[in-house]
Amino acid sequence: MRKRPLGKTGVEVSEIAFGGVEIGMPYGIGVESASDMPTETEAIHLLHMALEEGINFFDTARLYGHSEAILGKAFHDRRDQVIIASKSVYFKDKKGKIPEYAYLKKIIETSLQESLAALQTDYIDIYMLHQVDEEILENEGICRIYSDLKASGIIRATGASTYSVAQTRKAIAMGMWDVIQLPFNLMDQRQAATFASAAQAGIGIVVRSVLFKGILSQRGRNLHPALKEVESHVRNYDQFLSDSLPDLPTLATKFALSYEEVASILVGIDRMEYLYNSLEAANGKYLDVNTLSKAKELCYPDPSFLDLHKWDKMGWLR
């Protein structure tokens, strides 16, 4: 497993990052309850095997159910071997307002202390804002709190998890976020427009949604009727499959890693087969110029429709 520099943070991370949401809570197509998830023992074994196979980057969050606690049990005795990214709780109130500074500081610091306890560690490598919007990114109090946490050494780097291109550009322009986690995949390639400016600013790019919540895999078949056109479009990628690109997840993984500005890609891993598939795909041999160009041309024609949150609320992912 090759490693790439994570922007100017001074750390190198594996090209595959272990996405921790699936081991902490029901998540993804076809996962309805704990019975569809690995047990804690199985999850810890997965984490240990990932580390042994060269993955050193693990992503979690306070909002990912038992994920932090499972990572803590897996890595408390080998903390120096792993890079952990976690995220604070969401702190806007029911009216969508950001609390006053003193209360906001208490929320973020309490969330951080809870994460540290669950992870069984005294520092977090990358501590990120979760579910950001432009108002959150621009808030001076939030910036001050995160800057102070970094200066104290309790976190090594700051980060923001963005959704839109506008949010990513705002985060880059602010100059205080060391890492940006953003959605990018074969279907939705809009964030590629931000890669060069992020790299120029020394910001580490971590890509999520590479498999588009499983739609860019075998799970992306027999979707809800409302997603008929999406399912039809996904079949267009079959033209790329070959001995070196045997399946859609491999193509999707190699596509994202073909961008040199990308430090690491998050892959949800809740089965051993998914771990080994990811390891095999991230072998340092990615798409050639011609294949990459053709794949770029096959992005979904209406990316604004690709709203996983809305689809989930509508019941289209069940």
Which residue type is seen at 1?
M
The H-assigned helical ranges of 76-203 are: 101-119, 134-138, 140-152, 165-174, 195-200
Whether 259 is catalytic is: no
DSSP 4-70: EE-TTSS-EEESEEEE-STTTS--STT--SGGGS--HHHHHHHHHHHHHTT--EEE--TTSTTHHHH
Helix pair angle (101-119, 140-152), 10° resolution:
40
Query: Which of the residues 64, 127, 146, 259 is marked catalytic?
Result: 64
- What is the chain's Cα-based Rg? 19
Which residue type is seen at 19?
G
How many C-beta atoms surround the C-beta of residue 117 within 10 A?
A: 12
Number of residues that make up the chain = 318
Cα separation of 264 and 261, whole Å?
Answer: 9
Q: φ and ψ at 240, to 5 degrees?
A: -90, -15
Q: 157, 126 in Cβ contact below 8 A? A: yes
Which residue type is seen at 273?
E
Which residue do the tokens 């501590």 mark? 127
Q: 88, 112 in Cβ contact below 8 A? A: yes
Cα separation of 87 and 71, whole Å?
Answer: 14
Active site residues: 64
